[in-house]
């Protein structure tokens, strides 16, 4: 039977070979090897669109051209009926990134650095946020009071950020997208209200925000459900004179905002243009013609 120390030594060597490093040496005492950052670089830094794991492909150039168009896991190989070690490790690593995006909170320091104040929905914890989406669409009494007291009443455009299902998306995109939207609104002579951050929020919470502040257009920048391609995807949902209980067809959305999709700055300018059209056409969602 193989000892635990031997198993760890084998794993250390395999990981190091996969990412191009050297295997971690076993301590002099003979204990389990310690894998440090220098011996085991981050496997998620490898660009899947440029990685071809099929040995001796018949048309490598065409294979790579196809991979360049999608982050999907194509161009991998197998060991018998199973994935090879590198493919499995990358799958597990990307899954861990997605889990972190869902279960971590946006740091308070980040919220303050971006000049936002924080309020919360009726969800009391991350677990409740995931299991009770209905509560994530509602503001608690304290949040409604804080928004009324700290935000401009009856704004033309009310913008706020919310963690949704990916706090990572907020941290990755907010610093660039918020200024881009505000600058774009100024160019259209539209006035924005006071931005803030809503913790444990769902998309539908924007309707409660609209009714609380009397906003004409409401925009929520929210983290989307992460997948294995990225944990940083943000969406912007917009409504014209929204209200609690409105149909989902009344929302306009710009999705896939992240470094590998639509860059945050570009998305911000596009969102400002859409908002301008909402005021011209006095509608949103399926009724809005873009």
Q: Does 98 share its domain with 136?
A: no
State whether 77 and 136 are in the same domain.
Answer: no
DSSP helix/strand/coil, 86: helix
Q: pTM here? A: 0.83
User: So what's the pLDDT on residue 61?
Assistant: 94
* Residues 124 and 254 reside in one and the same domain: yes
The last residue of a domain, from among 55, 84, 103? 103
pLDDT recorded at residue 3: 74
Residue given tokens 């989307």 in the structure block: 224
183 and 43 within one domain: no
CB distance 255 to 220 below 8 Å: no
Asked whether the beta carbons of 53 and 84 are under 8 A apart, the reply is: yes
Residues 8 and 85 in one domain: yes
Let me know whether 123 and 232 are in one domain. yes
- The answer to whether residues 149 and 91 belong to one domain is no
- Neighbouring-strand partners of residue 186: none
Alpha-carbon gap, residue 123 to 145, rounded angstroms: 16
What is the DSSP secondary structure assignment for residue 139, as one 8-state letter?
A: B
What residues make up the domain containing 69?
4-103
User: What H or E segment, with its residue span, contains residue 91?
Assistant: helix 85-103
CATH number of the domain that residue 117 is part of: 3.40.50.11240
Q: How many domains does the chain have?
A: 2
Of 36, 70, 103, the residue at which a domain comes to its end is 103
255-271 as b/e, with b when 16 or more CB fall inside 10 Å? Answer: eebbeebbebeebbebb
- Whether 58 and 79 share a structural domain: yes
- Domain match, 43 and 177 both: no
Q: Are 219 and 237 in contact (CB under 8 A)?
A: yes
Which CATH number fits the domain that encloses residue 92?
Answer: 1.10.30.40
CB 206 within 8 A of CB 220: yes
How far is residue 269's CA from residue 124's CA, in Å, rounded to a whole number? 35
The residue from 78, 103, 128 where one domain ends is 103
For residue 13, how many other CB atoms are within 10 A of its CB?
Answer: 14
**Average pLDDT for consecutive 10-residue bins of the chain (290 residues)?**
70 66 53 58 85 92 92 90 91 92 95 96 96 96 95 97 97 97 97 97 97 97 92 96 96 95 96 98 96
Can you read off the two tokens belonging to residue 15? 């990981």
DSSP character for 154?
S
Q: Based on the fold, state whether residues 92 and 55 are members of the same structural domain.
A: yes
The overall longest dimension of the chain from CA atoms, in Å, is 74
Q: Under DSSP, is residue 158 helix (H, G, I), strand (E, B) or coil?
A: strand
72 and 128 belong to one structural domain: no
User: Tokens 């006071």 label which residue?
Assistant: 194
* pLDDT score recorded for residue 268: 97
Tell me what pLDDT residue 200 has: 97
Residues 6+ positions from 37 with CB-CB distance below 8 Å = none
CB neighbourhood size of 211 (10 A): 15
Pairing relation of β-strands 252-257 and 234-240? antiparallel
Q: What per-residue confidence (pLDDT) applies to 26?
A: 55
99 and 115 fall within a common domain: no
pLDDT at 28: 52
pLDDT at position 31, please? 56
The closest of 269, 110, 254 to 174, measured between CA atoms, is 110
């Amino acid at each position: 039977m193989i000892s635990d120390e031997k198993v760890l030594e084998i794993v250390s060597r395999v990981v190091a070979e996969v990412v191009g490093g050297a295997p971690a040496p076993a301590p002099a005492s003979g204990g389990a090897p310690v894998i440090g950052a220098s011996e085991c670089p981050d496997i998620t830094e490898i660009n899947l669109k440029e990685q071809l794991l099929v040995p001796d492909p018949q048309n490598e150039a065409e294979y790579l051209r196809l991979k360049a168009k999608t982050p999907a896991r194509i161009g991998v190989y197998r060991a018998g009926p199973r994935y090879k070690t590198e493919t499995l490790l990358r799958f597990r690593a990307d899954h861990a990134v997605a889990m972190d995006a869902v279960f971590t909170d946006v740091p308070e320091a980040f919220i303050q650095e971006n000049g936002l104040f924080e309020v919360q929905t009726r969800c009391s914890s991350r677990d409740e946020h995931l299991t009770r989406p209905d509560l994530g669409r509602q503001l608690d009494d304290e949040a409604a009071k804080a928004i009324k007291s700290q935000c401009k009443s009856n704004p033309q455009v009310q913008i706020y950020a919310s963690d949704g299902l990916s706090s990572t998306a907020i941290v990755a995109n907010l610093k660039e997208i918020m200024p881009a939207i505000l600058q774009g609104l100024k160019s259209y002579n539209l006035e924005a209200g006071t931005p803030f951050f809503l913790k444990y929020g769902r998309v539908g919470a924007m309707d409660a925000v609209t009714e609380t502040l009397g906003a004409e257009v409401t925009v929520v920048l929210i983290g989307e459900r992460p997948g294995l391609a990225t944990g940083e995807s943000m969406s912007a949902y917009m409504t014209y004179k929204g209200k609690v209980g409105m149909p989902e067809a009344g929302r306009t959305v710009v999705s896939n905002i992240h470094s590998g999709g639509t860059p945050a700055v570009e998305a911000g300018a596009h969102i400002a243009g859409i908002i301008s059209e909402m005021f011209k056409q006095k509608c949103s969602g399926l009724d809005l013609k873009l």
